[in-house]
């Protein structure tokens, strides 16, 4: 069965602190893709990153970094030196190469960055 779990429903941190959002996934496919999306208060869903199952290299993009570990089926997202503009709901998602249809979303983590 496919599943994405974001155990942290809501997190609050003070601006400039680092914060890590956890994502654990389940899949039987050997080829799959992992994503993070951001949903700011304005409501749109913004794509952040895509990772395929054969590439475990960590990725850094500015203040954002992602840690993909197949051994623990995790794809965690870290924001360094958080800013108020990072306040949003963040979704982790899984897509399996064998499936034509949807990607499976986690329930999301609501992140509050306090000034």
Partner 1 sequence: DAGITQSPRYKITETGRQVTLMCHQTWSHSYMFWYRQDLGHGLRLIYYSAAADITDKGEVPDGYVVSRSKTENFPLTLESATRSQTSVYFCASRGGRSDTQYFGPGTRLTVL
Residues near partner 1 (CB under 8 A) are 31, 33, 35, 37, 43-45, 47, 50, 52, 91, 95, 97, 99-103, 105-108
> Which helix (H) or strand (E) is 22 found in, with range?
none
Least separation in angstroms between CB 70 and partner 1: 17
Q: Measured from the CB atom, is 99 or 112 closer to partner 1?
A: 99
Q: Measured from the CB atom, is 37 or 68 closer to partner 1?
A: 37
- Residue 110 to residue 33: CA distance in whole angstroms: 23
Least separation in angstroms between CB 55 and partner 1: 13
Counting beta carbons within 10 angstroms of the beta carbon of residue 106, is it exposed (0 to 12), middle (13 to 18) or buried (19 or more)? Answer: buried
Tokens read off for 83: 């800013």
Q: Measured from the CB atom, is 54 or 115 closer to partner 1?
A: 54
Q: Measured from the CB atom, is 82 or 111 closer to partner 1?
A: 111
Alpha carbon distances (Å) from 110 to 2, 39, 70: 22, 9, 25
């Amino acid at each position: 069965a496919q599943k994405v779990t974001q155990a942290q429903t809501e997190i609050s941190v003070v601006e400039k602190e680092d914060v890590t959002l956890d994502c654990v996934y389940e899949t039987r496919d050997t080829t799959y893709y992992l994503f993070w999306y951001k949903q700011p208060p304005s409501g749109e869903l913004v794509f952040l990153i895509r990772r395929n199952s054969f590439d475990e290299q960590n990725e850094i993009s500015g203040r954002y970094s992602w840690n993909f570990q197949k051994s623990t089926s995790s794809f965690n997202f870290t924001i360094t030196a958080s800013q108020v503009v990072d306040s949003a709901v963040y979704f982790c998602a899984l897509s399996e190469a064998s499936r034509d249809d949807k990607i499976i979303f986690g329930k999301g983590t609501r992140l509050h960055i306090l000034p």
